[in-house]
Amino acid sequence: MPFLRAAFMAATVLLCAPLAAQTSATLTLPQAFQRVMAAHPDLKRAQYLHEGATAEREAAAQRPALTAGIEIENALGSGPSKGFDAAETTLSLASVLERGGKRAARTALAQGRVAALDATDESRRLDLLAEVARRYLDVLGAQALEDISDAEIAQRERTAKAASHRLTIGASPQSVSLAADAALARARLQRQRARSARDAAARRLAVLWNEREPHIDRLSGDVLNIPAVPPLQALASLLDRSPELRRFANEARVREARLQLARAGESTDFQWQLGARRLEATNEWAAVAGLSMPLGNRTRAQPAIRAARADLATLELEREADEISLYATLSEAHARLSGATSEVNLARSEVLPRLAQAESAAERAYQSGALSFLEWAQVQSETADVRREQLAAAIDAHRALIEIQRLTGESFLLSSSRSSAEPTR
């Protein structure tokens, strides 16, 4: 699976950020993917597991080994057999003649295990990249919270300045100025909390590529940009591409090969032997040959055949159960995405523009003495709260989108609209 397709979550949080404004310490999601793909031990471990499975396939394709032997009879006895005078020495070459396609069945079983391991590797890789996207989103969300706090601090600074001016001219009591200063200090505390959360989230992200002290100034992306996705039924039709369901095709081949190998056990293998015998008593050579076969193979093979048939029959039920579970997860994620996207868009198009107008009007009214400080501060608090709620909804939408893309392996960034994704400032 190509890296760009494996890194489908790049569409989740790339969010149309301008790359020209990036600095050397700015990290993008594809860069985070590349670091994890290059350094994470799980992916390196998968390489060795694949090498081991390939070696097992090569071993399964080998023919039965030839056995060279030597046998001495009638030696070191008594009387005429004293010493080696009457000894008979046999040099032989023996092996097994396999019947019933056993070697082909072993090879098919080993090849199926290699394919199943490839599907497991793909699933593990996608799960890991999804975790990278989630942690990247955590850092980006904390970064956005810090930006919201910066905007709130600017609001509170204007409020404190206006309250101080009105106190100076005797238009308001000192308590109003002190309350404004306290609100400003609280906004600064919110920003400090956001910075601490960002630093912690950055460490959780960087540890995925084994970096303990990350040096990241900014992350590239805008959380408020949410790509559009197809309807639920269109997404459900893509579930067959998910690694969780694709693995059943590989597992079916493994179990079918196991059944074929069990059936091959009904066929009797012949053990043959050819050689030459030295007769010391007459100083002559003679050829020897042997052929043997075990009895009752068909009866002994029946339990293994029944077990392999039952194992194969349960696979379709396992797939059906997983498909139901995946559809339930997809349906829940799609509902979360739809609801959160509506909340983000509603805040962007209706709530925040009206609050911006209300805040501007409240500032003018306070400065003219037509509005109390508490009323102006309430409008400012409402604006900051709505922005934080909008951010929380956007983060929830992206988490749902990561899950949808992990399940389907599809990217939906190209279907998003830049105009509809512009955040309200």
Please write the tens of the pLDDT for every residue from 232-258: 888 888 887 777 777 787 778 888 888
300 within a domain of the structure (yes/no):
no
What's the pLDDT tens digit per position in 118-131? 777 777 888 888 88
For the ranges 64-73, 307-316, 361-370, the lowest mean pLDDT is seen at: 361-370
Has residue 155 got a pLDDT over 80? yes
Has residue 389 got a pLDDT over 90? yes
pLDDT band (50, 70, 90) for residue 7: very low
Q: What percent of the chain has pLDDT over 90?
A: 15
327 within a domain of the structure (yes/no):
yes
Has residue 22 got a pLDDT over 60? no
96 within a domain of the structure (yes/no):
no
What's the pLDDT tens digit per position in 273-312? 888 887 777 788 888 888 888 888 788 888 888 888 888 8
Among 225, 223, 231, 227, CA closest to 334: 231
CA-CA distance, 79 to 417, in Å (whole number)?
104
For the ranges 171-175, 186-190, 346-350, the lowest mean pLDDT is seen at: 171-175
Q: What is the longest distance spanned by two Cα atoms in the chain?
A: 138
Residue 55 sits in which domain range?
A: 3-63+103-266+310-421
79 within a domain of the structure (yes/no):
no
Has residue 11 got a pLDDT over 50? no
What's the pLDDT tens digit per position in 317-363? 888 888 898 899 999 999 999 999 999 999 999 999 998 898 888 88
290 within a domain of the structure (yes/no):
no
85 within a domain of the structure (yes/no):
no
275 within a domain of the structure (yes/no):
no
Q: What percent of the chain has pLDDT over 70?
A: 88
What value does the mean pLDDT of the chain take?
Answer: 80
pLDDT band (50, 70, 90) for residue 13: very low
Domain count, the chain: 1
292 within a domain of the structure (yes/no):
no
Predicted local distance difference test score (pLDDT) of residue 391:
94
- CATH code of residue 351: 1.20.1600.10
Q: Would you call 314 exposed, middle or buried from its count of C-beta atoms within 10 A (0-12, 13-18, 19+)? A: exposed
Predicted local distance difference test score (pLDDT) of residue 411:
63
pLDDT band (50, 70, 90) for residue 370: confident
Predicted local distance difference test score (pLDDT) of residue 288:
86
CA-CA distance, 151 to 384, in Å (whole number)?
8
Better-scored residue on pLDDT, 215 or 83: 215
Predicted local distance difference test score (pLDDT) of residue 246:
77
Has residue 35 got a pLDDT over 90? no
Write the secondary structure of the chain as one string of H (helix), E (strand) and C (coil).
CCHHHHCCCHHHHCCCCCHHHCCCCEECHHHHHHHHHHHCHHHHHHHHHHHHHHHHHHHHCCCCCCEEEEEEECCCCCHHHCCCCCCEEEEEEEEEECCCCHHHHHHHHHHHHHHHHHHHHHHHHHHHHHHHHHHHHHHHHHHHHHHHHHHHHHHHHHHHHHHHHHHHCCCCCHHHHHHHHHHHHHHHHHHHHHHHHHHHHHHHHHHHHCCCCCCCCEECCCCCCCCCCCCHHHHHCCHHHCHHHHHHHHHHHHHHHHHHHHHHCCCCCEEEEEEEEEECCCCEEEEEEEEECCCCHHHHHHHHHHHHHHHHHHHHHHHHHHHHHHHHHHHHHHHHHHHHHHHHHHHHHHHHHHHHHHHHHHHHHHHCCCCCHHHHHHHHHHHHHHHHHHHHHHHHHHHHHHHHHHHHCCCCHHHCCHHHHCCCC
Does residue 21 contact residue 7 with C-beta atoms inside 8 Å?
no
CA-CA distance, 273 to 131, in Å (whole number)?
60
